[in-house]
Amino acid sequence: MKRFFTIIGFFIFSFTAVYAQNNIGIFVGGGVSNMRMISDDASFNEVIYKDMTFMPAYYGGVNFENILLERQLYLQFGLQANSRGFSANNDSVTYFIHNIYIPLEIKYKYFFSRRGESYAFASAGPYVSASYKGTKSDIAAEEAAAVDTTGLITFSKEMKFGKLASDDLEPIDFGIHASVGYGYSYIQIAYNFSMGLRNMFPSLLFADEENGADIPKLKNMSHSITVGFYFTNK
């Protein structure tokens, strides 16, 4: 994880220098996030994560638009903070996770007049994110731990990230990010969608499964609306 944040620092320095003559914007927003359960084992879905639903999420950060073709095509790099998670079993189970989120996208803008200020835009590309903190609740597990006298049943609200079976989730995710929106002068309003491609279950959780067994997968998904302010409109 320390190495990941070192890489982030390098990208901040590099892209700040490269983008000095291009568009830099800050944005905030909110939306919803969920995790998709992908498994052929219906009993696993029923026992572990039943009726998984969306939960509120926050978004904020900085975008850098590197001009490839002025007022048309851009390479956009983002350094963002957001939350992920889900609610399940009628809100008796919740995961709320804080992340550093880095998308890299190709962005197209269509200006409604040759030198006008208003435009529509669309962007898409890959992302990588790192989870650094999270909290969870599980009413059934908390109640079982509270009445246990053997010390064998424990429950912690603080999430653990790693590859071990005792961890809650993997810390690193990657996937696809896409946005569409409208801009006027220095303001942009965007709808954003991201879909994770990595299985977030700890990789060693099912290490003892037989070859060919159906290994369930847990993948991120989110929707958001953001409002951004750009210091230039090139």
pLDDT band at residue 212, thresholds of 50, 70 and 90? Answer: low
Give the position of tokens 């901040």: 12
Of 64 and 153, more confident = 64
Mean pLDDT, range 206-219, rounded to an integer: 73
pTM reported for the whole predicted model? 0.84
Tell me how crowded residue 133 is: count the other CB atoms within 10 A of its CB: 12
What number of other Cβ atoms are within 10 A of residue 64's Cβ? 21
Per-residue model confidence (pLDDT) at position 19: 46
Q: Residue 210: pLDDT above 60?
A: no
126-146 average pLDDT score = 92
Three-state secondary structure readout of the chain? CHHHHHHHHHHHHHHHHHHHHCEEEEEEEEEEEEEEEECCCHHHHHHCCCCCECEEEEEEEEEEEEEEECCCEEEEEEEEEEEEEEEECCCCEEEEEEEEEEEEEEEEEEECCCCCCEEEEEEEEEEEEEEEEEEEEEHHHHHHHHHCCCCCCCCCCECCECCCCCCCECCEEEEEEEEEEEEECCEEEEEEEEEECCCCCCCCCCCCCCCCCCCCEEEEEEEEEEEEEECCCC
Q: Read off the pLDDT of each residue in 132-155 and give the average, rounded to a whole number.
A: 86
Mean pLDDT of the 192-220 span: 83
Q: Which residues contact 128 (CB under 8 A, 6 or more apart)?
A: 102, 172, 173, 174
Poorest-pLDDT segment among 16-25, 73-82, 120-129, 153-162 = 16-25
Q: Please indicate whether residue 132 or residue 14 has the higher confidence score (pLDDT).
A: 132
For position 3, what pLDDT does the model report? 54
pLDDT, averaged across the chain: 86
**What pLDDT sits at residue 17?**
47
Residue 130's nearest CA partner among 97, 167, 172, 169 is: 172
pLDDT in tens, 146-186: 887 787 888 889 999 999 988 999 999 999 999 999 999 99
Contact yes or no for 99/130 (Cβ under 8 A): yes
The whole-number pLDDT of residue 135 equals: 96
Instruction: Please state the domain extents for the chain.
Output: 2-132+159-230
* pLDDT, tens only, 5-44: 555 554 555 555 454 558 899 999 999 999 988 776 666 6
Residues 6+ apart with CB under 8 A from 35: 49, 52, 84, 85, 86, 95, 200, 218, 219, 220, 221
Query: Top-level CATH class of 2-132+159-230?
Result: mainly beta
* Size (the chain), residues: 234
